Amino acid sequence: MLSHPELGRLAVAHLDCDAFYASVEKRDRPELRDLPVIVGGGVRGVVTTCCYIARIFGVRSAMPMFKARRLCPGAVIMKPDFAKYRVESRRIMAKLRALTPLVQPLSLDEAWLDLSGTERLHGAVPAAILARLQAEIEAEIGITVSVGLAPNKFLAKIASDLDKPRALR
């Protein structure tokens, strides 16, 4: 965890699952762990998400599938299983709501949290609470998340995008 003089006073967080759909697929199929995985629609569709290995080849979300296949010909391409992703999203969001009622989901795999005033309840500053949450999600759900902590939602979102995966900034 990074150290910062204001770290103990920051309470607005943005949590973003790392390559959520691809991470869930890799968790469920361990043989894919070291392979580039792209989740998306057929030949004329788009990339919904891809793992970090596929990103090394230049594949990105919302990219046309024909371009992704060209950039990463060895990728394992999977159709999205939104029912499965919704189940995992509900598990993660329940963990967030256990920390604070002030959770604002943005999508299946990301949300803002306001942890103001929760230090006494949880016995730690928000940064420590979020570090524990990160570890808990990885241990219990089997995927990694990145977290940004800041004085406002805009900066928290930017912070969560830095140093992915497993970022805590």
- The pairing of strands 76-78 and 37-40 is parallel
Rounded to 5 degrees, φ, ψ at 104 are -120, 95
pLDDT reported for residue 30 = 96
- Between CA 107 and CA 13 the distance in angstroms is 15
Query: What domain range is 48 assigned to?
Result: 21-78
Asked whether residue 168 is assigned to any structural domain, the reply reads no
Q: Name the active-site residue from 6, 31, 110, 140.
A: 110
- Burial 131-151, CB ≥16 within 10 A → b, else e: bebbeebeeebebbbbbbbbe
Number of domains forming the structure of the chain: 2
Residue 38 DSSP one-character state: E
pLDDT reported for residue 49 = 97
Question: pTM of the full predicted structure?
Answer: 0.90
| Same domain? 98 vs 120 | yes
Asked whether residue 166 is assigned to any structural domain, the reply reads no
| Same domain? 66 vs 143 | no
| Same domain? 91 vs 13 | yes
In the chain, the DSSP E strands lie at 12-17, 37-40, 47-50, 76-78, 103-107, 110-114, 145-150
| Same domain? 33 vs 92 | no
For every residue of 136-156, DSSP letters joined together read HHHHHHS--EEEEEESSHHHH
- Between CA 43 and CA 149 the distance in angstroms is 39
Query: Up-side HSE of residue 20: CA atoms within 13 Å toward CB?
Result: 21
pLDDT reported for residue 169 = 83
Asked whether residue 98 is assigned to any structural domain, the reply reads yes
Residues of the chain falling short of pLDDT 50: 1
88 is catalytic: no
Asked whether residue 136 is assigned to any structural domain, the reply reads yes
pLDDT reported for residue 117 = 86
CATH of the domain at 121: 3.30.70.270
pLDDT reported for residue 107 = 96
* Whether residue 73 has a cis bond before it, omega within 30° of 0: no
pLDDT reported for residue 122 = 87
